[in-house]
Amino acid sequence: MKLEALVNDLRRNEVFGTIRAIVYTIKFQKRGLHHAHILLCLDSKDKNFDGDDINNIISTEIPNQQTDPKYYSAVCDFMVHGPCGIVRLNSPCMFNGRCSKSFPKKFVDVTSVGEDGYSIFRRRDNGRTVMKAGVELDNRYVVPDNCYLLLKYGAHINVEWYNQSRSIKYLFKYVNKGNDRVTASFYQSATDKQYGTTIDEVKMYYDCRYVSPCEASWRILGFEIQYIYPHVERLSFHMPNEQSIYFDENAPIDVIVERHTVKHSMFLAWLEANKKYPEAKQLTYAEMPTKFVWKQATREFVPRQRGFSIGRVLYVPPGSGEIFDSACKSYSNVDLLVDVHTPEFLNGIKCSGVPNHELRLKCKRECFIQKIKDEEGEGCNIHGSLEVNKVAGNFHFSPGKSFHHSNV
């Protein structure tokens, strides 16, 4: 398929640079064929593009017909919008007398990036035009394209460049906005016996999912609707004996309870992997999928042999109570685990956002000594050590006045 070839082309040939992540979603128009929204995340070394760099990979001008006839023909066939606007007010893209895609654009001599993160591409008034549906169109109607991709795949491939977090958040939301929907209403004609008049009464409204013939065929054939690279492993965590259990609603309760994996969870499997594999002690919970694979059947982490994946810990809102206070950013709270695992085991776990630490038991009560070392690149350097007896509730450190060991 063209889509698979295009994704492989972008990754291997690095048309726009080194690709670190790819997300795409297949969309289906109510009146047309399906298309893909593809979002590429480039390596940091390929992100600092200026106007000239953007011009080398994206064009919004009509090519020279004499020097590059194939490119000229491809742009005329696939990458010219319209005609619309004043020349054709009944065009499908027109809404309230204006083009919903903001065509025609303005003539611009130099490519730049606006404050909103969207690129303003070069569109020079060089006199080049094309005829489409009997209307002469210039560079203001050209959709941004890449010459290599357009000539190779012979299809409409709109290429845009974004570099601001606000626009990227919108793009991620756009490619995951869900299915097409339609609101249907049902009416019933009835006769009011009291007044002898006929009325139309709205019985109900249905918020329905719309499935076009193209989407139905796509799903029947088993083609992918979404694609994500690299794979993202969702990491859950919980309080002791409060892990989520998934089961068939028709399964007998005794079968569910006696299942040997009922007490196992991904979070507890991470702790067990730290005891079993020395290299796991060097990884935080979120880093675990980069070197280990989660086996759902056996509910355990095993060393990764091939491939690559990243981990993302599930979001816990601040109002969720004890689980938020216990997990926080380190995903390994001492009060949560001290009754389950030994201090030696906990000292071997690398905690994200927490300095190197040492835990020991003292006077039959849980205590810990945190050896704080220089945190380079974290915004501040803290020196010294701190010894605290375990108390009920929580205590926190926050930036502020400096303190001494004697008055803590």
Alpha helix (H) ranges present in 204-339?
213-220, 253-258, 266-276, 288-291, 322-327, 334-337
Do the Cβ atoms of 95 and 101 come closer than 8 Å? no
pLDDT of amino acid 259: 79
Do the Cβ atoms of 143 and 194 come closer than 8 Å? no
Residues 161 and 240 in one domain: no
Residues 240 and 371 in one domain: yes
Q: Which residues lie closer than 8 Å to 314 by C-beta, 6 or more apart?
A: 234, 235, 236, 237
Buried b (16+ CB within 10 A) or exposed e, 50-65: eeeebbebbbbbbbee
Pick from 130, 156, 175: which residue ends a domain?
175
Give the gyration radius of the chain's Cα atoms. Answer: 30
In-domain check, residue 28: yes
Residues 169 and 284 in one domain: no
pLDDT of amino acid 326: 60
Residues 245 and 383 in one domain: yes
In-domain check, residue 314: yes
Domain membership of residue 250 as a residue range: 234-407
pLDDT of amino acid 6: 93
Outline where DSSP puts E strands in 158-247: 181-192, 197-209, 226-229, 231-235
In-domain check, residue 206: no
- Measured distance CA(186)–CA(392) in Å, rounded: 60
Do the Cβ atoms of 162 and 119 come closer than 8 Å? yes
pLDDT of amino acid 85: 86
- Measured distance CA(340)–CA(275) in Å, rounded: 13
Pick from 175, 191, 225: which residue ends a domain?
175
pLDDT of amino acid 348: 55
Q: What are phi and psi of 304, to 5 degrees?
A: -80, 130
Helical (H) or strand (E) element with 77: helix 69-78
Between CA 116 and CA 120, with CA 119 as vertex, the angle to 5 degrees is: 110
Give how far the C-alpha of residue 22 lies from the chain's centroid of Cα atoms, to the nearest Å.
Answer: 9
Residues 395 and 257 in one domain: yes
pLDDT of amino acid 187: 53
Residues 293 and 361 in one domain: yes
Pick from 175, 199, 225: which residue ends a domain?
175
In-domain check, residue 227: no
- Measured distance CA(301)–CA(292) in Å, rounded: 6
- Measured distance CA(378)–CA(178) in Å, rounded: 39
pLDDT of amino acid 383: 43
Structure token digits, residue 10? 């972008």
**DSSP sequence for 32-68:** S-EEEEEEEEE-GGG----HHHHHHH-B-SPPPTTT-
Alpha carbons within 13 angstroms on the beta-carbon side of residue 14 total 8
Per-residue pLDDT of the chain (408 residues; tens, 9 = 90+): 688 899 999 988 888 989 999 988 888 876 667 888 898 989 888 877 788 889 999 999 999 999 999 999 999 999 999 899 888 888 989 998 899 999 999 999 999 887 777 789 999 999 999 999 889 999 999 999 999 999 999 999 999 988 776 666 667 776 667 666 666 655 555 554 555 555 555 555 566 777 888 888 888 998 888 888 888 898 988 887 788 887 888 888 888 888 777 778 888 899 899 989 999 988 888 899 999 999 988 889 999 998 889 998 888 777 777 766 665 544 443 333 333 444 555 555 554 444 555 554 443 333 333 433 444 444 444 444 444 444 444 444 444 444 444 443
Residues 140 and 243 in one domain: no
In-domain check, residue 228: no
- Measured distance CA(406)–CA(408) in Å, rounded: 6
In-domain check, residue 387: yes
pLDDT of amino acid 332: 42
**3-class secondary-structure state, position 111:** coil
Residue 203 Ramachandran class (φ > 0 left, ψ -120 to 50 alpha, else beta): alpha
In-domain check, residue 216: no
Number of domains in the chain: 2
In-domain check, residue 304: yes
Residues 288 and 374 in one domain: yes
Residues 156 and 238 in one domain: no
Characterize the bridge pairing of strands 384-389 and 112-113: unpaired
- Measured distance CA(263)–CA(325) in Å, rounded: 23
Give how far the C-alpha of residue 357 lies from the chain's centroid of Cα atoms, to the nearest Å.
Answer: 34
pLDDT of amino acid 399: 46
